[in-house]
Amino acid sequence: MYAGGHTYAGGHTYAGGHTYAGGHKEDETRGYSVYTHLPFTLQNATPLLAAFWTPRRGLVMSSHLQLFPDKFYRFLEAPNLLVSVVPMPANNAVVSVEPSGSQGKRLLHTGPIADVVDYLAAAMNFTYTNVMPHDRAFGTKTNNGTWTGMIGMVQREEADISIGPISLTATRAEAADFAWPMWYDGSGILAGLGTPEIDTWGFLLPLTPVVWVALLVALLAASLVKTRPSSNISLKTFPLDTWLSNTFEFIRVLLQQGWVASYRWTERFLLVVWMMVTLVLTRSYSGNLMALLAVRHISQPYQSLQDVLDDPSAIMMWQRNSINAEYLQVVKSGLLYKVANLESKSRLLYVSQGEYNTLLDSVVRRGHHVLFDVGVTLRNLMAQHYSRTGKCDFYTSRETYLAFSASVISQKDNPILPALKYRMMALTESGIFERWFMTSVPNSTMCLHSPKKYAVQTSLGLPSFWVV
């Protein structure tokens, strides 16, 4: 059992040491020695003598090890493992190239994901070296059956583990084994906020549509009651001119332009009721209208994938060689199938995470490009932008899609997986990883609920009244 085909000092690392016995003679009496190969040592390394047995002395332990030790729960000798990582500025995990003494250069991985590697290294007693796939992606399955990205490095044994975190799918589970999930999330849309706009139909907003309808019905009913005092008037003899005249008189009262001529006490009572109704409505209307004229509305048109599909000018960007890209490759129907077909219309682009910040500042802010990715990535992109500029220029959609769990991966049936699962379960169930992840990026919650309306203090212009 080998660690993954890595060569150290000309030899292959030996991953899953086993224990075996070899006979020898002691004082003309046959005895037995028990040797064990330690994990991740050179293939031709000398096995460790764990114990020996002779009829005269019995079983004698020659080291501090148990006879059949659990060599993977915590390594006895600190091996150097290769850990596959990619640049992930969206969650504050950045891979950079730094000088490293005589070794020239090495990859430094920082952020909460790197903290997980440090935790595993301390708990399991290993050192590690970061390696990175050429495409700097998580990995997808190609048409010829090979894998790209970090998953491909693990499958080809170019890395012992991939910290990812890698999202679990049925296809990926065929290429690698997954440890205990780090976190659960879904994907959504990130788009640029529009500029503050004046609602030209704002003069209708102080009253709800139901109130406007009720006001119209009350106006017509009041004029009808005044016009038809007796029940002997038929439809043919209905005084239409009188009814219209009465209707305009009640409108004059509503607009505070005059009064209604009335002589009977029933008409006067009706007039008092109507004046009370109009007084309350007009006072409420004028107060609310004054407040609404000081409000600017921020457009947030893309709240679902269907909204993007319905806008022929919208262009979507998805992460290249990711779990979401994998869904688009295999989907055969439904909403995601329509999204996949946007590529033939030049409305679907695949980009890398390293391009996100540049794309946000250049094309997403303009309004016609949107970014589709996991929720925590979008959240932290907005947080980083706010930390740089002090502004919330982007928003995320209400609808989320493609829920998933994500974790560390290693080769199929690698004996270190049980130890990884145990450590990752302790890390996540204690809430430590969630704490690292949620506090790693400053201002991570500042722009999660961007307001749709802003109050301004400015002179009113023609756009505020042109509909009226």
Residue 68 lies in a domain: no
> Measuring CA to CA, how many Å separate 241 from each of 221, 227, 246, 341?
16, 10, 9, 62
d(CA 134, CA 156): 14
Per-residue pLDDT at 468: 60
In the DSSP assignment, the letter for residue 52 is: E
- Within 55-104, strands assigned E span 58-61, 80-84, 95-99
Residue 373 lies in a domain: no
The token pair that represents 164 in the structure block: 């990812």
- Examine the fold and report which residue of 296, 311, 345 is the final residue of a domain before the chain moves on: 296
d(CA 258, CA 245): 13
The token pair that represents 400 in the structure block: 């989320």
Per-residue pLDDT at 100: 55
Cβ neighbors of 456 (< 8 A, separation 6 or more) are 196, 294, 295, 296
d(CA 68, CA 90): 45
Angle between helix 209-227 and helix 265-292 axes, rounded to 10 deg? 160
Tally of residues, the chain: 468
**Residue 135, phi-psi category: left (phi > 0), alpha (psi -120 to 50), beta (remainder):** alpha
Per-residue pLDDT at 9: 30
pTM above 0.85, yes or no: no
- Examine the fold and report which residue of 279, 296, 313 is the final residue of a domain before the chain moves on: 296
Residue 15, CA atoms < 13 Å, CB-side half-sphere: 20
**Alpha-carbon torsion, ordered 101, 103, 104, 108, to 10 deg:** -80
Residue 245 lies in a domain: yes
d(CA 48, CA 63): 9
In sequence order, which ranges of 98-257 are alpha helices (DSSP H)?
112-124, 149-155, 170-175, 209-227, 240-254
Q: Report helix, strand or coil for 332.
A: coil
Residue 271, CA atoms < 13 Å, CB-side half-sphere: 16
Per-residue pLDDT at 369: 92
Can you give the residue range of the structural domain that contains 41?
2-61
Per-residue pLDDT at 310: 92
Residue 244 lies in a domain: yes
In the DSSP assignment, the letter for residue 134 is: T
The token pair that represents 48 in the structure block: 């460790």
d(CA 83, CA 243): 86
Q: Residue holding tokens 């008037």?
A: 233
Per-residue pLDDT at 235: 54
d(CA 318, CA 189): 10
Residue 287 lies in a domain: yes
The token pair that represents 274 in the structure block: 């109507």
Nearest to 138 by CA among 404, 383, 346, 423: 404
Residue 42 lies in a domain: yes
Residue 20 lies in a domain: yes
Per the structure, the count of domains in the chain is 2
Positive or negative, the CA dihedral 350, 354, 360, 362 is negative
Supply the CATH number for residue 240's domain.
1.10.287
Beta bridge partners, 33, equal 22, 52
Residue 160 lies in a domain: no
> Digits of tens for pLDDT over the chain (468 positions)?
334 333 233 333 444 444 444 554 444 457 788 777 777 776 677 777 777 787 777 777 776 766 676 777 888 778 889 999 887 755 556 666 666 544 556 777 778 888 889 999 999 888 998 888 888 888 888 888 889 889 999 999 999 999 888 888 888 888 999 999 888 888 999 998 877 666 667 777 788 888 888 888 888 888 877 776 544 555 565 677 777 777 887 887 887 776 666 667 777 787 788 888 888 888 888 877 777 776 777 778 888 999 999 999 999 999 887 888 888 888 888 999 999 999 989 999 999 887 888 898 888 988 789 999 988 888 888 888 888 888 888 989 989 998 888 899 999 988 888 889 999 999 888 888 888 877 777 777 778 776 666 565 666 666 666 656
- Whether the CB-CB separation of 15 and 80 falls below 8 Å is answered with no
The verdict on whether omega for the bond into residue 165 sits within 30 degrees of 0, i.e. cis, is yes
- Examine the fold and report which residue of 35, 61, 87 is the final residue of a domain before the chain moves on: 61
DSSP string, 394-445: EEE-S--EEEEEEEEEESTT-TTHHHHHHHHHHHHHTTHHHHHHHHSSTTTT
